[in-house]
Amino acid sequence: MKSALIVGLQVTVMLFGLLVLVFLICEPQVEGRNAHATQFEIYFHDSFLAYVYLASVPFFVGLYHMEQLLSQIRLRSVSSRAGLETVRKIKWCAGMILGAAVVSLLFMLEGDPEDRPPGLALRLMVILQSITVALLAARYERRLRNGLANPPEHGVRS
């Protein structure tokens, strides 16, 4: 791949992470049920919000490792043990996000019944995306592992 394309992907990943962070910080303040709440009530009395912040940590760790992977691809050092480890960490982060989304279904039991359909739809989107990232990372990890186990022979023709 061209280096400019990879740098563009890195900038896109960073901007996406920044937008998600801004959303996580600002959205609770404009949410309908927090219209007349103080900052303390918004951020310290909502157990679901605390869970969302805790569950978002693997997302940001995964974005960091995606940046590392793109740097390794740009420097052509992805076919190393470090590249394999980076892909493995991305796969684990996706699995942790998947688990957090599944566990968050428990919060729906105590919530308003009218909020359940959109909440379920959002969780299903996160679950499907996490499964996709985990499967793609596992596939890429397998390809890297096979490439490390069977290095190409230079100068030998079949």
* Per-residue pLDDT tens over the stretch 66-78: 999 999 888 887 7
User: Binning pLDDT at 50, 70 and 90, where does residue 151 land?
Assistant: low
Each domain of the chain, given as residue ranges in start order, spans 3-149
Burial of 46 (0-12, 13-18, 19+ CB in 10 A): middle
Q: CA–CA distance from 150 to each of 79, 143, 146 (Å)?
A: 11, 10, 6
Higher pLDDT, 34 or 97: 97
Q: By percentage, how much of the chain surpasses pLDDT 90?
A: 47
What are residue 92's phi and psi, to 5 degrees? -65, -40
DSSP 67-97: HHHHHHHHTT--SSHHHHHHHHHHHHHHHHH
Task: Give me the sign of the Cα torsion angle 147, 151, 154, 158.
Answer: negative
- Give the residue-averaged pLDDT of 30-55: 81
- Give the residue-averaged pLDDT of 14-37: 86
